[in-house]
Amino acid sequence: MKYDVSVELLNRKEEYNFGDVAKQANGSAWIKSGDTVILATVVIDETEIVKDDFLPLTVQYIEKSYAAGKIPGGFFKRETKPSDFETLTSRIVDRSLRPLFPKGFGYPTQITIMVFSVDKESDLQVLALNAASAALYISDIDINTSVSAVRAAKVDGELILNPTQSQLNSSTLDLYLSGTKDDLLMIEMRSFGGEEFDNTLMVDPLMDPTMSVPVLVNHTSNAMNEDELIKIFEQTEIVLFESNAKYEDSFRAFKKDTLTVEYKAHVINEEMVAFVRENHLSDIKAAMNQMAKSERSTALRQLRKNIITTKVEWADVEQEVALKDAIEKVKKEQVRSQILNERVRADGRTLTQIRPISISTNVLPAAHSSCLFTRGQTQALVVLTMGGPKDAQMYEALTDEGTQNENFMVHYNFPGFSVGEASPVMGTKRRELGHGNLAKRALEPIVNLDGQTVRLVSEILESNGSSSMATVCGGYMALRAAEIETSDTVAGIAMGMVSEGDKYAILSDIMGLEDHDGDMDFKVTGSKDGITAMQMDIKLGGISLDVLKEALYQAKEGRSHIIDIMLEAEQKIEFNDGVLPSTDFFHIDPSFIGEIIGQAGKTIREIIEKFEVAIDIDKKEGKVKVTGKNKTGVAGAREHIEGIVNTPKVAKIKYEVGDKYPGIVKKIVDFGAFIELPDGTDGLLHISKVSDQRVEKVSDVLSEGEEISVEILEFKGNKISLGRA
């Protein structure tokens, strides 16, 4: 294919074709980078228009299996529902491009991004946004701004911009910035520790006892401090701005003539606004104090009815809708004015004040662990379930060689009743998937699972802002309530901002009202020392790094306050010992591993079956990990293993035919009895040799545990045949 434009970027080159494919779309871009080929298209429906300042934009990022030379797994040999990665990538593109559309553009718009060929070193999320932005820029929609993404990684202490996938896999930082040539619009960030692997012998009832597989033995936290992060922002932002300037210069010649469309920007009835301001400002303030969304809506609805009773000319449906908008505008003005001018928020809090917090752990007696975390009128019930390696979620990314296992999962559910809405509980929505992924990125760096599988489920029972951050806090407490090792204490806080000209105010722990009427939604998670994950969306224009730095340090202060409350609650945890799986770690002399495993795994299988545990043994260092359904079984298995280790070894005896020895009846079977000889070797005493008399049942003559004298009769391979001495 002939390419119209070649753009040289830092550590990457992108080639674009704008005229040869998908010609009936309003805009299309075919992009090639390395061996990755992506097609992005933009189509608008001019026959329908949505009012009320709502942009009906849908973004679909779709990966094709053939792009990596694969046939889809499973029963159906075609692509079906989108993977989590596809959904999360669609969200990233949507959040980056939505601010570009002109106010009042209400036409249904579909952006489709399809991966046709994949280079395993390519950053598909960056290329997806760049391709979609190019298609939008050269389309006939009145958009003249390029948006692109830059990812930053840190490998061996060195900052790498636009890293390869291999470099990103070795990185302690994953920072995704999107913006224009002038403004930073969105941030996705996570900081994570490295993983060390060793050859460890893993044994459980369903595994071959001789199987050696790599097991995670160390997972360290690597939260990043605010100063270091700001410096990385500064360097990455420069590359982002320069890249967008290059895109606009390169694409300008291919832009289509602008389509003539009707804009339906919502017009507020200023007469109504003036009336509400003059006569009902106190009522608006009273409604603002109703902090729950349902209560506030009820108060504003009642205000609307009261006004209509005095202004009968506003009684028809269309006028009532206009009055609702006027009340909403005055309410928003009051919320913002009070914050900017009085430095007081609608609920009376200062700008940095955190809502009251209560924490109850293990409120569900039959669950492995749970936490009911409440902050103001936001409440999350986070429930933890522990499993083994086989409980991990299997998945396969397009660039993976084979199937991968995810052994730490965070699932977030947001039912309608949490905000007073009468809506049914349906399948997982994009927002729920995104919030769960953010909580997972926040907690994963500080968790040491050591071969276990953990699933956290956050059920949002009430929401008035920052439910994803309540999930992070409740998730950490659920981990501790399950006695899972963590390297640090992590909490999350949602920050907001209200700005007017040069004046601005940064808000800690925003509620739903401030999220709706504010200019920024900024979620930060981490410890007292640094940040593990963050997510930021700017609603109006960009944000300066000075303001961002101030927000980060204000978030750190709020996070520390929350962590202190969590640490206090951690001291009061009462564990669900009856149902909580238990794990014990200890060391043994590696020379005894043979005795613990036994002949063909016999001994270790007996321990596993008797105590209902799984046992992992490090053959080199003698590390033993015992995992079971409860503490009693784990303690019993450890005691049994230590008993074997503390029993003096008996030297192997060289047996000869005719030798006589004392033996212990180990097990009675229909055809005889297995006798344990002095060095632990087993021999078979056949039923015909049990007695001088004919014997119908061996148990009539012998009993297990009985000591008898036996004679070596013959050897059959590794088996010893015995007779009574």
Residues 6+ apart with CB under 8 A from 546: none
Output the pLDDT for position 648. Answer: 64
| pLDDT above 90 (res 451) | no
492 and 515 in a single domain? The answer is: yes
Sequence-distant (6+) residues with CB within 8 A of 185 are 96, 99, 147, 178, 179, 537, 538, 542
Q: Are 179 and 274 within one domain?
A: no
pLDDT at site 355: 95
Confidence of residue 650 (pLDDT cuts 50, 70, 90): low
**Angle CA 566–572–578, to nearest 5:** 120
**pLDDT tens digit string along 382-394?**
999 998 888 888 8
Confidence of residue 210 (pLDDT cuts 50, 70, 90): very low
- Domain membership of residue 262 (yes or no) is no
The average confidence (pLDDT) of the chain is 87
CA distance linking residue 438 with residue 342, whole number of Å: 34
Closest Cα partner for 288 from 343, 326, 350, 331?
331
Which pLDDT value is given to residue 219? 39
Instruction: Let me know whether 635 and 490 are in one domain.
Output: no
Same domain? 462 vs 410: yes
Distance from chain centroid for Cα 225: 21
CATH number for the domain spanning 588: value is 3.30.1370.10
Final residue before a domain boundary, out of 619, 646, 673: 646
Instruction: Answer whether 628's CB lies under 8 Å from 579's CB.
Output: no
In a domain, 208, yes or no: no
Specify the 3-state DSSP secondary structure of 331.
helix
Confidence of residue 691 (pLDDT cuts 50, 70, 90): confident
Question: What integer is the mean pLDDT of 596-601?
Answer: 80
- Position 441 scores a pLDDT of 94
235 pLDDT higher than 70: yes
482 assigned to some structural domain: yes
If we measure between CA atoms, which residue out of 382, 379, 522 comes closest to residue 464?
379
Given a cut of 70, whether residue 334 has pLDDT beyond it is yes
What stretches of 45-157 adopt beta strand conformation (E)?
A: 57-63, 109-117, 148-155
Which of 35-39, 293-297, 498-502 is predicted with the least confidence, judged by mean pLDDT? 293-297
pLDDT classification of 194: cutoffs 50, 70, 90: very low
- Predicted confidence (pLDDT) per residue in 63-86, tens digit: 999 999 988 877 788 888 899 999
Mean pLDDT of 305-331: 84
Mean pLDDT across the stretch 154-164?
93
Query: What is the CATH number for 178?
Result: 3.30.230.70
- Domain limits at 714? 660-724
- CA 90 – CA 113 distance, rounded (Å): 9
CB 72 within 8 A of CB 79: yes
Q: Report which secondary-structure segment, H or E, holds 623.
A: strand 623-628
Contacts of 644 (CB under 8 A, 6+ apart): 592, 595, 596, 603
Q: What is the mean pLDDT of residues 200-226?
A: 45
Nearest Cα to Cα of residue 435 among 84, 56, 169, 714: 84
Please check the confidence at residue 52 and state whether its pLDDT lies above 70.
Answer: no
Indicate whether 347 belongs to any domain.
Answer: no
pLDDT at position 292:
61
- 609 in the same domain as 544: no
Q: Which of 570, 600, 635 is the last residue of a domain?
A: 570
pLDDT digits (tens, 9 = 90+) for 620-648: 888 898 888 888 888 889 998 988 887 76
Q: Looking at the 3D structure of the chain, how many domains does it have?
A: 5
Residue 205 has what pLDDT? 34
In this structure, the answer to whether residues 102 and 241 fall within a common structural domain is yes
Pick 18 or 401 by higher pLDDT: 18
Is the confidence at residue 138, as pLDDT, over 50?
Answer: yes
Please indicate, yes or no, if residue 500 is contained in any of the structural domains: yes
pLDDT band, residue 195 (cuts 50/70/90): very low
Shortest CA distance to 703 belongs to which of 690, 715, 712?
A: 690
Contacts of 606 (CB under 8 A, 6+ apart): 598
- Do residues 100 and 142 make contact, with C-beta atoms less than 8 angstroms apart? no
Which tens digit of pLDDT belongs to each residue from 512-564? 888 888 888 899 999 999 999 999 987 756 678 888 999 999 999 999 999 99
Among 488, 532, 565, smallest CA distance to 226 is for 532
Average pLDDT over residues 161-186: 93
Would you say how long the chain is, in residues? 725
Residue 657 has pLDDT above 60, yes or no: yes
Kindly state the percentage of the chain with pLDDT values over 70: 93
What is the model's pLDDT at position 284? 83
Which residue in this structure is represented by tokens 């036409």? Answer: 107
Confidence tier at 565 by pLDDT (50, 70, 90) = very high
Same domain, yes or no: 226 and 323:
no
Please tell me the predicted confidence (pLDDT) of residue 471.
98
Domain for residue 655, yes or no?
A: no
Query: Do 455 and 553 fall within a single domain?
Result: yes
**593 and 666 co-located in one domain:** no
Say whether both 321 and 432 belong to one domain: no
> Is the residue at 164 inside a domain?
yes
d(CA 625, CA 500): 59
Please check whether residues 617 and 547 belong to one and the same domain: no
**651 occurs within a structural domain:** no
Q: What is the pLDDT of residues 21-31, one digit of tens each?
A: 999 999 999 99
Q: Is the pLDDT of residue 51 over 70?
A: no
> Do 397 and 323 lie in a common domain?
no
